[in-house]
C-alpha cells in the first residue's frame, strides 16, 4: 500500500459555506484567471491584509482526486487542509468554528472512503486551550494526526502559550505534521520570482524545527512524532552548524535544550526534495526509517509523478523503497 502523507484538500462543502457567507466577511471566493481563489481578510499590526489562496479543481473534486491517485499509484492519502486554511490570523472564536467545520468534513470523507483516505485535524492555535480540546475531539472522531503551521501568526512553536497544546499532543500520542505558513519576508525580499515558496517555505520549516529543538519542546516530550514537510527544509544541510553553535555558544542552551543531534534523528521527513542526489543524502544522513513518501497534492511544487518515479527512490533497495512508500507511515499513523 502506497501512502501519501502530504496531500491537501478543501472540501466542496466548505467552499459552498464561504460562498453563502457562513463565516462572515473575513472569507470570500474570488474568480482568478484560471481557477477560483479563496480569499482571507485579516488584520496584521492594525493593517488590513488580504491573502488569496488558489483553488484548483483537484483541491475539492474527489472523483478527479481518486483518478489522479490511481494514475500516480497512490493507494491512500492522509488528507490535511490547504495550509493557509489554518487561519491563525482570524478571531479565535471564528478560528475554532472553521477548524471544527474542516475536521467534521474530513472525518466524514474518510468514513465514506475508508480504503482511500485518512485525515489529519486542523486546530486554532491562536487559542491553545481550544486547540487542545479540538484536537482531542477530532482524534476521537477518527483523525490520525494534526497538521499545524510553522508559526502562529508570527510566534514560533516554542511559545510558552502553546504548552497546553504540546501536552495534549503528547498525551494523545498523535503525529504532528508541520507545514510552512505565514512565510517570513513574503511581502519584502521574497516577494519576487516565487521566492516565498522556493526559499521561504523550506526556511519556515527549518525555523519551526529549530524552535522545537532549542526551545526544549523535543526534550520535554521525548515521544513526540513530528513530520517535517519538504525533507525538513534546510535541517539536513544545516545540522552541523547547529551542533557547532550549541557547543560554542550559550544562547542555544538557554531553555535547557540538549544537543540538536539528539533531536534531528527523531523527526520524520517527507520525500519532497526534487533531486535524486539530495534525496539520497537525506536518506543516508537521516535514516531510511525517518523518510515518508509525500506529494503535496495537488500543487505544482509537489511530487505529482508516479510514486515509484520520484527522483532518487530507484537508487534504494526494494525493502527500503517499501519503507518510504508505506511502512514508515504505517508506523506513526494509526491507519
pLDDT in tens, 240-289: 999 999 999 999 999 999 999 999 999 999 999 999 999 999 999 999 99
List, for residues 102-119, the tens digit of each pLDDT value.
999 999 999 999 999 999
Domains of the chain, by residue range, sit at 3-10+80-332
Letter string b/e over residues 85-114, b meaning 16 or more CB atoms within 10 A of that residue's CB: bbbbbbbbebbbbbbbbbbebbbebbeeee
- Contact between 163 and 189 under an 8 Å Cβ cutoff? The reply is no
What is the Cα–Cα distance from 105 to 57, expressed in whole angstroms?
A: 18
Please, what CATH class does the domain formed by 3-10+80-332 belong to? alpha beta
159-214: pLDDT as tens digits: 999 999 999 999 999 999 999 998 988 888 999 999 999 999 999 999 999 999 99
What is the reported pLDDT for 42?
A: 82
**The pTM of the whole model exceeds 0.85:** yes
Query: Rounded CA gap, 14 and 212, in Å?
Result: 32
Q: Write down the mean pLDDT value for the chain.
A: 95
Look-up of cell digits 525493502? 319
Per-residue model confidence as pLDDT tens digits over 130-141: 999 999 999 999
| Pair 214, 182: CB distance under 8 Å | no
Identify the bridge partners of residue 9 per DSSP, sorted by sequence position.
81
> What is the pLDDT at residue 45?
64
DSSP state of 331: H
What pLDDT, on a 0 to 100 scale, did the predictor assign at position 134?
Answer: 98
| Residue found under cell 531510511 | 288
The beta strands (E) that lie in the chain are given as 3-9, 27-31, 36-44, 47-55, 76-81, 117-119, 146-149, 176-179, 226-228, 268-270, 291-292
Amino acid at each position: 500500500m502506497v501512502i501519501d502523507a502530504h496531500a491537501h484538500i478543501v472540501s466542496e462543502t466548505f467552499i459552498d459555506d464561504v460562498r453563502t457567507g457562513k463565516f462572515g466577511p473575513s472569507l470570500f471566493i474570488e474568480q482568478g484567471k484560471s481557477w477560483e481563489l479563496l480569499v482571507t481578510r485579516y488584520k496584521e499590526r492594525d493593517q488590513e491584509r488580504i491573502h488569496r489562496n488558489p483553488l484548483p479543481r483537484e483541491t475539492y473534486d474527489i472523483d478527479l482526486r481518486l483518478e489522479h491517485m490511481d494514475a500516480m499509484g497512490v493507494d491512500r492519502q492522509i488528507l490535511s487542509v490547504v495550509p493557509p486554511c489554518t487561519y491563525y490570523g482570524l478571531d479565535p472564536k471564528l478560528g475554532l468554528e472553521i477548524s471544527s467545520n474542516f475536521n467534521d468534513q474530513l472525518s466524514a470523507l474518510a468514513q465514506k472512503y475508508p480504503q482511500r483516505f485518512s485525515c489529519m485535524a486542523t486546530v486554532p492555535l491562536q487559542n491553545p486551550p481550544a486547540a487542545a480540546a479540538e484536537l482531542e475531539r477530532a482524534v476521537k472522531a477518527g483523525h490520525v494526526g494534526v497538521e499545524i503551521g510553522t508559526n502562529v501568526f508570527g510566534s514560533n512553536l516554542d511559545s510558552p502559550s502553546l504548552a497546553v497544546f504540546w501536552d495534549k499532543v503528547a498525551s494523545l500520542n498523535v503525529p504532528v505534521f508541520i507545514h510552512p505558513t505565514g512565510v517570513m519576508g513574503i511581502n519584502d525580499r521574497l516577494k519576487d520570482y516565487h521566492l516565498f515558496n522556493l526559499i521561504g517555505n523550506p526556511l519556515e520549516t527549518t525555523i519551526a524545527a529549530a524552535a522545537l529543538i532549542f526551545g526544549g519542546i523535543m526534550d520535554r516530550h521525548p515521544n513526540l512524532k513530528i513530520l517535517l514537510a519538504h525533507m525538513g527544509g534546510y535541517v539536513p544541510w544545516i545540522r552541523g552548524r547547529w551542533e557547532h553553535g550549541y557547543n560554542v555558544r550559550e544562547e542555544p542552551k538557554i531553555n535547557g535544550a540538549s544537543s540538536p543531534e539528539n533531536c534531528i534523528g527523531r523527526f520524520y521527513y517527507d520525500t519532497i526534495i526534487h533531486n535524486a542526489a539530495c534525496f539520497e543524502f537525506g536518506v543516508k544522513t537521516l535514516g531510511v526509517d525517518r523518510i515518508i513518501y509525500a506529494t503535496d497534492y495537488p500543487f505544482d511544487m509537489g511530487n505529482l509523478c508516479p510514486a515509484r518515479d520520484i527522483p532518487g527512490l530507484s537508487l534504494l533497495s526494494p525493502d527500503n523503497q517499501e519503507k518510504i512508500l508505506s511502512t514508515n507511515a504505517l508506523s506513526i499513523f494509526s491507519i
